[in-house]
Amino acid sequence: MKTFLIGLMMGLPLVVVAAEKDPHGGLSPDQLDFFEKKIRPVLVEHCYRCHSVAEDTLKGGLALDSKDALLLGGDSGHAVVPGNVRESLLIEAIRYDNEDLQMPPKKQLPESVVADFVKWVEMGAPDPRVENGFETLARKEIDWDKAKEFWAFQKPVKKQPPTNADPSWARTDIDRFIKAGLEAKGLEPVADADKRTLIRRVYFDLIGLPPTPLEVDLFVTDTSPDAFEKVVDDLLSSKHFGERWGRHWLDVARYGESSGKESNFTFPHAWRYRDYVIDAFNADKPYNEFVTEQLAGDLITSTDQADRNENLIATGFLAIGTKSLNERNIRQFAMDVADEQIDTMSQAMLGLTVACARCHDHKFDPIPTKDYYSLAGIFLSTQTYYGTPQVLGNNRPSDLLPIYDDSEEVDLSRLRTPSELQAMNDRLETLTRERAEIQAQLRRSRFGGSNMDPQEASDRRRDLLRLGTQIGTLEAEVSQYDELGIPRQMAMGVKDRSRVSDARILIRGEVDKPSDPVERGFVTILSDGNEPEIPNRYSGRKELAHWMTSETNPLTARVFANRVWHHLFGKGIVASVDNFGAMGELPSNPELLDYLAMSFMENGWSIKSLIKQVVMTRTYQLGSEYNFANFEKDPENRLHWRMSQRRLDAESIRDAMLAISGNLEIEAPNASPVAKVGEGNLARLRFVDPKTLQPNARSVYLPIIRDMVPESLALFDFAEPSLVTGVREETTVPAQGLYMLNSEFVVQQAAGFTRRLADSGIEDPVKRLELAFEMALCRKPTPEETDSIRKFIEDFNATLREEGRGQVAARQLVGVSFCQALLACAEFRYLN
């Protein structure tokens, strides 16, 4: 069989695969990652012994060691039908639904593994394996010198901006890089955006809210050369900046207020991390400090108690991830937590999928399993504090970290009187005594000290489960208060374990198959031999943070600079913003990316400076008009000959409606509704529907409960809170249009919009509705649109008169209907 080397043209000959045009079947990095981490290891461990063509016998005529064989199925039918769980016999078998079809035959797979296979089939069963039925993705020995030649593993170099044939067009060095790329392809940039388009664009990009008609008029009439810069500076200093850009990071940090997975328990203190992120962006905390605090805030020197609290809360980055709380094996749980932390850290900060090396050497990047377990030692030496009480469904409860901040406003609604505290403790004592009595009864029955029939014993065991849940819930509640009944300040986060140690490599990632130990350390391909030494007494997270933010690390600054570019242009210079490895996209302008990364570090890792540097370019300020000649040569606009049209994200759509209606609560709410609900399993808590909670707060403050994302966000492609999400999906589906036409929330905002128009003092109904255009779209209606407005009013009034509606009611209905139509139009949801 002919073979070739993946990455040959990129200088990374690492993996041998069967020769074909696309060895991965066009699968996305996320699909490949899911298969390699969740599916392949299970197939290898539990299925290949009986269902592989490499074995002497093939039971049931079913082979599972290649994509084609899997889809073909065996004697009983199709093993997997992509996208169809019901018709996939493999799912039926591993669920043990059919007594005659149960696989593996000796022991059912854990619920979490079954759920992974169901999700995989629903995804379309993505499978990169080629057709010969053997494990074909085999690692070659890594040639480190050759691997270092890959663009992402080389230290960024700040080159001089190129000279342009037309030097008059560029305003900044960034523009010179862009113009050189356009000239090389014979492309001409379109004209600059008009001022109304530009101010709407920069308002949404920087603070996620629309400008008011007055703010638009002030900018349009300001003829000074620094008019736009003044707007940018005002937006960067706004408290709403952190709410907008902090949400971008929360996508990457997979922020959620519950554990997710099989037992979905609340995280009532996750909101502190959310507020930390928002405050960090508003304060323009240097990105290298931001990274260090999130990885090792508990280990760095603090100036005072408030600073100490902030640093501890920052480590919530490592604690807020999903947890399989029903996992009984403590070693498996610890390894899964560490794996999730490694996966999040490496994608978010390095743009690499390091966690793919848990079960085997990374299939595509020069990351050996040894490197993975070097990092695993760091995180296994770290204790994660995430809360959740010890109750039924939670085999892995956890404490929280205490913080002390007398300046924080106390939530008066949560105060407990001495008598209430005493009642809680008395109840806890009673329940504990009752449980002890039942346990004693069962012990006596077991050892012959009493006669208890099987039914009574079963009832007593059921009582123990009930009491355990009640006691665990009550203990968690009591622990939230001090002796005066004041709520304790608690936070999610991490601290070093009392005993730290290196990790052992696990064969195929299985905790019961340990192999050789490896010293705690970092990713070899990103290291230059001058890495900080990890002290024996500490986990190594502080040293990891220093290594991560070192100017010799080739990826940290690049990855974040690329994220900024993505949020301002709709696509990163590296389109796969979370994956800079071999399976990611190549940069469209590598010299520009290096320039941005180096400038970022030179300017003290200032996020606001980097954003301002980009938005002040002529490239950012271009119009979005279509040009056929340019489109033929660059249909995806990778060279930036215009500003690509972009749909507003879910939060901006919702927040803009609230702002225009006058209903937006601009002050940040205290804590989160989840904090008021308290700790517990969402299946058992009487939790209020999220869409009714904080209805007028900015979307960043809505409770983000895994598997219960508010409808107004979920419909418009909100980030999946269980995954690192640098790029959100962008779908156009009928449900979105139906929501804008039928949602009670949208109707309420249209009514508020109408009230604001009525309060404007404008009597002429047409002029009033012209003002609506300015409020919603930042422009005046065209003459044709004005005629349409006039006809709309006439036709609507005629219909209402026929129905016998009164004048006041008719006027209200006309206004609300028109305002809702304006909010539902495509132009409202898009940026030009």
Which of 43-47, 196-200, 720-724, 756-760 comes out lowest in average pLDDT?
Answer: 43-47
Under the banding of pLDDT at 50, 70 and 90, the label for residue 1 is very low
The residue among 486 and 706 whose pLDDT is bigger is: 706
What is the four-CA torsion angle of 495, 498, 499, 501, rounded to 10 degrees?
10
Q: What's the whole-number mean pLDDT along residues 740-752?
A: 94
pLDDT at position 553, please? Answer: 96
Q: Are 450 and 457 spatial neighbours (Cβ–Cβ below 8 Å)? A: no
In single-letter form, the type of residue at position 688 comes to: V
Contact criterion met (CB below 8 Å) for 579 and 347: yes
pLDDT confidence tier of residue 409, bands split at 50, 70 and 90: low
For the chain, what is the largest distance between any 2 Cα atoms, rounded to a whole number of angstroms? 98
Are 814 and 793 within 8 A, CB to CB?
Answer: yes
Residue 9 has pLDDT above 50, yes or no: no
Residue 348 has pLDDT above 90, yes or no: yes
Residue 351's pLDDT is: 97
pLDDT value at position 677? 81
Tokens at 39, concatenated = 């599916």
The sign of the CA dihedral 165, 168, 169, 175 is positive
Please give the mean pLDDT across all residues of the chain: 87
Q: Which of 395-399, 601-605, 825-829 has the lowest mean pLDDT?
A: 395-399
Q: Are 676 and 414 in contact (CB under 8 A)?
A: yes
Q: Which residue has the higher pLDDT, 60 or 669?
A: 669
**Burial bucket for residue 309 (CB in 10 Å: 0-12, 13-18, 19+):** buried
Q: What pLDDT is stored for residue 417 in this prediction?
A: 77
Q: Is the pLDDT of residue 490 over 70?
A: yes
User: How far is Cα 13 from Cα 11, in angstroms, rounded to an integer?
Assistant: 6
Instruction: Give per-residue pLDDT as tens, 15-46.
Output: 333 333 344 556 777 787 788 878 888 888 78
- Tell me the helices (H) and strands (E) count for the chain, helix number first: 33, 11
Enumerate the β-bridge partners of residue 646. Answer: 831
Q: Note the pLDDT tens digit of each residue in 630-684.
A: 999 999 999 999 999 999 999 999 999 999 999 999 999 988 988 888 888 886 6
Task: Flag whether pLDDT at 130 surpasses 80.
Answer: no
Instruction: Tell me which long-range contacts 226-235 makes (C-beta under 8 A, separation of at least 24).
Output: 228/198, 228/202, 228/616, 228/621, 229/616, 231/199, 231/202, 232/202, 232/206, 232/612, 232/615, 232/616, 233/612, 235/202, 235/203, 235/206, 235/207
Beta-carbon-side half-sphere exposure of residue 804 (alpha carbons within 13 Å): 0
pLDDT digits (tens, 9 = 90+) for 750-803: 999 999 998 998 888 778 888 999 999 999 999 898 888 888 888 877 877 777
CA 187, 831, 627 angle in degrees (round to 5)? 25
Q: How does pLDDT run across 458-475, given as a tens digit for each residue?
A: 877 888 777 777 777 777
Enclosing H/E stretch for 496: strand 493-496
Does pLDDT of 72 surpass 90? no
More confident residue, 828 or 455: 828
Look at residue 537 and tell me whether its pLDDT is greater than 50: yes
Structure-token pair, residue 413: 């609604």
- 493's CB contacts (< 8 A; 6+ apart) are 297, 298, 312, 313, 314, 315, 316, 318, 319, 385, 401
User: Cα(509)–Cα(749) distance, rounded to whole angstroms?
Assistant: 52
Higher pLDDT, 699 or 448: 699
